[in-house]
Structure 1
Amino acid sequence: MSVSVLSGCRQTMPMKCSTAAGRAAREAATVELFELRARTPDLVEQQLLLERVVELNLEIAGGIAARFRGRGAELEDLEQVAFLGLMKAATHYRLDANTPFIGYAVPTIRGEVKRYFRDAAWTVRIPRRLQDLQGMVSAQLPALEQELGREPSSEELAERLGVEAADVEQALAARGCFNTLSLDRPDDDGLSLGDVVADQDDGGVDRLEAVDMLQPILEDLDARERRILELRFIEGWNQTDIGAEIGVSQMQVSRLLRRILGELRDRLAPLSVAV
């Protein structure tokens, strides 16, 4: 593949996909890039194509990162981890696996983000200098409170310790960062963290991921099969009315639905493995 071909691909590939057609186009363009990469012996071109796959699917990684925001880690950090997961997925994806790339990438990216939380994001780490100063503040605070008859200011603590007031303020702000607290520990209003944090994931993101995984599989169905699914699950028709619409009996509709759904489940099974 020449550089000019790569440039042409760069101009035609969709970067933002808000519709089913756009997501299908992105998946098709991704497959084309993988096929081009498999055919070229040039290592530089292989790397360029791999980077293009990652660039094309950044929206997927960004969406997964956004799902985990507000859980104790900065969104920028989550995005970086998700992008690394996307690169990992692109590097290890195999065309002969008969699995859409998104079906492989989504659990891989999600797994990387979950590992990040497990390994790095549950306990806040502060500089050693502030850890030491925090210990000094804790040691001097009770005596100074007793002498003054009130809570001392940052300036008074700094004077007692012989340090800058700004450093004392940072150490005070970092109190509680060394240990994680129980979800059941009540706050000042008597509510635990479990009471105020939703116990369910954002279903909207789950639906978006499901649509992305289903889209390329649904494309393999013929027009009548897609029409049956549309009437049953989008329009809400019963089997008798569907049969009258397409010219078959209710029993035939029932058999068709069982077969179609069974095939979809078989195709989706390898995509839903938890990471």
Structure 2
Amino acid sequence: MADRHSGTESYDNLEPLFARLAELDQDGPQREALRNDLIERCLPLASNIARRFSGRGENFDDLLQIARVGMVQAVDRFDPTYGASFLSFAVPTIMGEVRRHFRDHTWAVRVPRRLKEIQQTLGPATEKLTHELGRMPRAREIAEEIGAELNEVTQALIARNAYQAAPIDPTPESDQDNAPISVLETLGAPDANFGSVEDYLAVRPLIEALPERQRQVLIWRFFDSLTQSEIAQRLGCSQMQVSRILTKTLASLREQAMRD
């Protein structure tokens, strides 16, 4: 299944289509066609989230398929009558599906049973609260929802990183073409394109208050996966100008979010 996205749409304009989907006959061909269109539009989102979890010992293609399963679940379960945006519902749903895969199959570091039990409730609780609040819930709100202590929820969130251990320098193999890549070789500058989905939800009100040009640049870069050069072509400016817009905008959002 190939990713397809026009590059001019954001995920914020999908709610009317979901309202239309709910009105169509469950078994009708029009509903199936609209559902398939919504799924295809959201493929880049699943890809971006899958990339966030790459480098943890799991094959990216496997992570991508799991993320797409979560994305299809989000499309099938989203209820536009709640008033929340599809994006604020889809992100935790997709991430929850990927995290469940790691939780169930890739624990390598011993984690207390209580934290594992709490972690199993984090996904459903986060999904429920996101739908009700219209934003990602805070740890304290999750703790109240599942009836756990705040420090237990915090530890369970941290424990998500205890999935799979890998040696920093793997043992060399005789066949160098198939030799494993060391962890040190995989380290590099992080790509903000794949690390900004949760950040977007956290600062969404601030993003909505941005000038139109800055908001559009963020959407093109972080959700339509356009390069800075492609954005520059659309704006009729240089790639350096686009870089400056992104740097200035992200710095401003970060400062405001931390202050708030």
TM-score grouping bracket, smaller chain normalisation: 0.3 to 0.5
| TM-score with structure 2 setting the length | 0.45
In our comparison, the structure showing a higher alpha carbon Rg is 1
User: Greater RCO between the two (CA within 8 Å, min separation 6)?
Assistant: 2
Q: Which structure is higher in helix share? A: 1
| TM-score with structure 1 setting the length | 0.43
